[in-house]
Structure 1
Amino acid sequence: MEYVLGQRIRRRRERVYRPRQTYLSLSEEECIRKLRLTRQAVTDICHLLADELGTDGKCPYAFPVAVKVTAALHFYASGSFQHPLSSIGGISQSAINSAIHAVTSGLVRHAGEYIKFPVTPDNQERAKQTFCGKYGFPGVLGVIDCTHVQLRAPSENALVYINRKGTYSINVQVMRCL
């Protein structure tokens, strides 16, 4: 009888947690190359978003903050699709998607603390003069860095639009001038 009861009782398999790749396992050079930020900058982002991204202890499968931030920053830096990113860290595509959404929402909520735009006339004039003095562009109030905007292959001169990653794009720089 014990044998029959023993056969019917299913024993839970011990859960195996795969090691997840985080920025902590990267050297400074790899961190800059893969995430486009220094390790200290990524650490600062993890601390900034820790309360919002942290787990409440109820879900044993939730990823640590460092894994979520690393996945999102890798997505931002690579401009890749989410599926290839999931194969790097052994994380499902849906978990990558959730991490990117959570990190993006957190960064947007904190953007006002770090991104300042001069709003008073005195501050605007000072910003214009500083930029003109440094770079020789008059009337520039602020600058947003360059970015590649992906395109469909143009019908004419298609080779001109291939970027270093082998996709078609155009390099765009946006400036706000007054």
Structure 2
Amino acid sequence: MSIAAFIAFRSSSTFRVKSMISSGGRCGVRGSRWCPTPTALAVHDLGIANPAEIHLTVPPGFRRRHPALALHMAELTDDQLEEREGFRVTKPVRAIAETAADGTGQDLIDSAVAELLDRGAATKNQLLRAAQQAGLRAELAVERALRAEHAQVRSMRLG
């Protein structure tokens, strides 16, 4: 079992953090907030994500801070989010692109991309498109992950 933080937003400017035990490193967000980046990868059980902080995307202008949280400012649309019981989380393709854009280790991006493709939950083109929208760092990391995944699939076929 791993411990994650449960983030409950009471309003747009106040929040409280409670400890909770979860089986999958899950983060919960009540209301209209969401989990992005490495935290979203952990929620989706993608890659080797085990974030030391809980990453949350909040609307621009959000001012509260907490040492256990890494806040990212952005406006997300409903098509970029997935509903879970009691919270919303960025969809896997966006979570990978955002995580790559943040400069997270290549091994995490490689493992998340390989698992997402293995599940058939996204295409290579979807991953590349999202990475291109997230910036050059994300594009490079996702391209590297796709090359690594291709090499792994090829070696399995030959071996």
Shorter chain as normaliser: what TM range?
under 0.3
Q: Determine which structure has more spread, i.e. the larger CA radius of gyration.
A: 1
TM-score, structure 1 as length reference: 0.25
Q: Which gives a bigger RCO, structure 1 or 2 (Cα 8 Å, sep 6+)? A: 2
More strand by share: 2
TM-score, structure 2 as length reference: 0.28
